[in-house]
Structure 1
Amino acid sequence: MSYQAPIPRPVPLSTHVSVTLRLADGTDDLLVRHVRLLRDCVALSQQRWGFSIEAAVVLPSEVQLLCNFPDPEFGVRGAIRLITSAFTRHVPGHHRGNHAAIWGDTIEITEITNAIVAMRTAFIEDAPVRAGLVKQAQDWPYSSANNTTAQASGMGVAVA
């Protein structure tokens, strides 16, 4: 009798994923008005799906994240769904089931290679400059580029 060890299954490599979520009303500042709620929703999703955040910015009507997922085939869409549904459910003045009234129809999800992670991080953190909100990226308080704003301590995306 000979023993054959089981063939190991390939372990999925972690993958960087860029995510952009926009409000349906591009003139609304709901995300910065309720940035702490948004951060808590992201933290809840991180706990559930086990991803980390490398860069983040919250603009008045848009949030951009650069995440590292242990397995992008399992979790990216679920993580986004949890963030958007939890935010919708808990934001003051909105009713359950009114998901479409808050979030836009298009969610951008892009897999980012390791070679361009630094460029994508800079792109995300420079978003407030491109939007004309600040002159320097580190001046925007709702960004991972900002070092002076008190950030999350172990929970949620560090965006004030």
Structure 2
Amino acid sequence: MAGGTYFFTVNLLERYPNDLLVRHIDLLRSVVTKVRQKRPFHIDAWVVLPDHLHCVWTLPPGDDDFSNRWRLIKQRFSKALPITERRSKVRIACGERGLWQRRFWEHVIRDDRDYATHIDYCHINPLKHGYVQQVADWPYSTFHRYVERGLYPLHWAGKGETTDGLELEEYRDNCLR
């Protein structure tokens, strides 16, 4: 879908325990900024967790090449770090690092409801994984921009809060079904 809006999940190869993405958040931000300068896209939502990230991007009209954008982000991030990870013989033979899973998961956003669900999913993810007691406490998220714009209340989906009339536990269970 050229120029569409997409949801992505991108994982580190070794997920647990691994805090690589938040430990090197400034590098990740810099790499994303540089890739966006050469291959523009709009960041609708983004959350970076210790071992994976979720985001929603809108690509320019006529452009559906998110794969090369992700390739560049992963490649530049990896090249900026020293090689300390365990690498398989196959990865070594292919000249690959052992930081990222080779693939990523993408989903084409179909409508406004789908868009809102995936934006919410990005923002609630640190709470879902137990990193924080309320979404506002997670620093590596576009949630804070949404609060500044008045799109979310500061304490949205916090401990004891409800979301769309659902108890938080039920909301977590229903996200992305």
TM-score when scaled to structure 1?
0.76
Specify which of 3, 25, 28 is matched with residue 38 of structure 1.
Answer: 28
Distance apart, 1:67 and its partner CA: 0.3
* Structure 2 contact 3–64 (Cα < 8 Å) conserved: no
Q: Which amino acid aligns with 2:99?
A: I
For the Cα contact (< 8 Å) 1:140–1:146, is it kept in 2?
no
Gaps of 5+ in 2: 86-91, 146-177
Q: Is the 8 A contact 2:22 2:48 kept in 1?
A: yes
Distance 1:71 1:107 in 2: 22
2:12 equivalent in structure 1:
23
Alpha-carbon distance in 1 for matches of 2:83, 2:60: 35
Report SS of the residue matched to 2:144: coil
User: Which residue of structure 2 lines up, in the alignment, with residue 9 of structure 1?
Assistant: none
- How many angstroms does 1:144 deviate by? 0.8
Q: Given residue 120 of structure 1, which amino acid in structure 2 is its aligned partner? A: H
Q: Cα distance, 1:93 vs. partner?
A: 4.2
Aligned counterpart in structure 2 of residue 114 of structure 1, from 101, 111, 115: 111
- Distance between the aligned counterparts of 1:72 and 1:19, measured in 2? 19
Aligned 8 A contact 2:136 2:144 in 1: yes
* RMSD value, Cα: 2.1
Tell me how far apart the structure 1 counterparts of residues 74 and 4 of structure 2 sit (CA, whole Å): 21
Note the C-alpha offset of 1:135. 1.3
In structure 1, the gaps of 5 or more residues are 1-11, 148-160
Higher strand share: 1
CA distance in 2, matches of 1:73, 1:39: 22
Letter in 1 for 2:126: P
CA distance 1:72–1:59, change in 2 (3 Å): farther
**Per-residue CA shift, 1:30-86, capped at 9, x if unaligned?**
000000101111112211221010100000000111000114754211100000000
Quickly say closer, same or farther: Cα 1:59–1:72, change in 2 above 3 A: farther
Q: Which has the bigger relative contact order, CA under 8 A and spacing at least 6? A: 1
Q: Could you say what secondary structure the match of 2:103 adopts?
A: strand
Give aligned pairs, total. Answer: 135
Partner of 2:173: none
* Aligned equivalents of 1:102, 1:13: Cα separation in 2: 29
Counterpart amino acid of residue 22 in structure 1: N
Write out the 4+ residue segments of structure 1 that deviate beyond 3 Å after TM superposition: 71-74, 92-98
Work out which of the residue numbers 131, 139, 153 in structure 1 matches 2:129: 131
